[in-house]
Amino acid sequence: MALRSVTRLLSGTPKCAAVSVCRAQSTTAAAPLKVDGKVAKVPFNWRDALDLEGQLTEEEVMIRDSFRDYCQEKLMSRIVMANRHEHFHREIVSEMGELGVLGPTIKGYGCAGTSYVAYGLIAREVERVDSGYRSVMSVQSSLVMHPINAYGTEAQKEKYLPRLARGEILGCFGLTEPNHGSDPSSMETKATYNPSNGTFTISGAKTWITNSPVADIAVVWAKCEDGKVRGFILERGMKGLATPKIEGKFSLRASATGMILMDEVEVPEENLLPNVSGLAGPFGCLNNARYGIAWGALGAAEFCFHAARQYTLDRIQFGVPLARNQLMQKKMADMLTEITIGLQSFVSAAFVETHF
């Protein structure tokens, strides 16, 4: 219902009208098919009711198909045992790096420079397998590589982005604190500047941090002496830095989650992200990540839909498949309707972001 509300909210806006016009101009309308002078019924493709396939570029289709093959052949075979034993396969990050799907929308620095729709399609395919795997990819791409690219210096980009894109190093993002989750303005992590040696001393704690137990670098947000929130790049091995793992999770078990503990960690001034201050920095990262997260959620929903549909076809009760019951059919139709609306909304959002 939330997706329906968003669709209704956007309809009637100038941007929505402009999107519709642009789409109409770029799509050739098919002439009605006539048989014996009568208009023939157009076949309905329930798998793609709004022709998502026809709205994708050849490059986007190629990226999706090749990554789908990887996810189904290489990731699906790992996920059951990884989830059961709460084990993160670090080599997956390197494999994704070889495929060019880490930080894919960034141009240059060893990144693919794809469209946002392609990024969404990548997230959709990986979350068909597992949300934990998608979280690892989202953190690396949107919460680590994006802030370095958007807020960092040229030297920082050259130093970190190519290695992150290859999956050679893994990053994490430190914003949430033990006492402040959805209230980052009250963060207690402090950064004090030391003019004598050009460093910052950072003390504080972050929690529920995806990748932190195995990360090589951390993009950490701390409050400076002027009260403004700033971003810093911390590297594993810095004195006073610890990243303990959180054990016994009930979900996202195939990814590593932990804390970032900082006890007077001395960080060089060149590790400060200089081109942003205040909460605009971390919020910009989160907004960038949410687009991929939305696509990923629908990838998981699609897996659930197809699994449920197949079950209703296979399960025989009173001599007929469960799928013969209207209530089952309605539930399947409702699921597919919401998935279809969501996918179309995400494609439209990317179009608006790119063209307006």
What are the residue ranges of CATH 1.10.540.10 in the chain? 51-169+337-355
Tokens (6 digits) for 17: 């009208």
pLDDT at 352: 83
pLDDT, greater one: 174 or 27: 174
Digit-coded pLDDT (tens) for 140-149:
999 999 999 9
CA–CA separation, 194 vs 215, rounded Å? 27
Give ranges for CATH 2.40.110.10 in the chain: 171-281
Helices and strands counted in the chain (H then E):
12, 14
pLDDT per residue over 13-69, tens digit each?
A: 444 444 444 544 444 445 666 666 677 777 888 899 898 999 999 999 999 999 999
pLDDT of residue 30: 52
Residue with tokens 């059961």: 84
Tell me how many degrees the CA angle 347-352-354 measures, rounded to the nearest 5. 95
Look at residue 356 and give its three-state secondary structure.
coil
Longest alpha-carbon distance in the chain? 89
Left if phi > 0, otherwise alpha if psi is -120 to 50, otherwise beta: which for 200? beta
- Helix, strand, or coil (residue 95): helix
| Residue 235 DSSP class | E
String of DSSP letters for 329-341 = HHHHHHHHHHHHH
What distance in Å separates the CA atoms of residue 24 and residue 55, rounded to the nearest whole number?
A: 11
Listed residue (220, 216, 261) closest to 240, CA to CA:
261
* 13-27, 87-101, 102-116, 335-349, range with the lowest pLDDT: 13-27
Query: How confident is the model over 255-298, as pLDDT tens digits?
Result: 999 999 999 999 999 999 999 999 999 999 999 999 999 999 99
- The CATH class given to the 51-169+337-355 domain equals mainly alpha
Mean pLDDT, the chain, integer: 90
State the Cα–Cα distance between residues 329 and 301, nearest whole angstrom: 17
**Judging by DSSP bridges, how do beta strands 190-194 and 217-224 pair with one another?**
parallel
Does the pLDDT of residue 303 top 70, yes or no? yes
> Which amino acid makes up residue 199?
T
Contacts of 91 (CB under 8 A, 6+ apart): none
**Residue 268 near residue 153 (C-beta atoms within 8 A):** no
Q: Which two tokens stand for residue 249?
A: 């999770």
**Residue 268's beta-bridge partner residues?**
199
Domain 171-281 superfamily per CATH: Butyryl-CoA Dehydrogenase, subunit A, domain 2 (2.40.110.10)
**Alpha carbons 265 and 217: distance in angstroms, whole number:** 13
DSSP 184-230: GGG---EEEEETTTTEEEEEEEEEEEETGGG-SEEEEEEEETTS-EE
Q: Are strands 171-174 and 217-224 parallel, antiparallel or unpaired?
A: parallel
DSSP state letter for 218: E
**pLDDT above 60: residue 180:** yes
Q: DSSP 3-state assignment of 266?
A: strand
Residue 280, both tokens: 């605009």
Give the model confidence (pLDDT) of 230-260 as tens digits: 999 999 999 999 999 999 999 999 999 999 9
Kindly list the distances between the CA atom of residue 338 and the CA atoms of 10, 121, 333, 350, in Å, as whole numbers in the listed order. Answer: 16, 17, 9, 19
What is the pairing mode between strands 199-210 and 171-174? Answer: unpaired
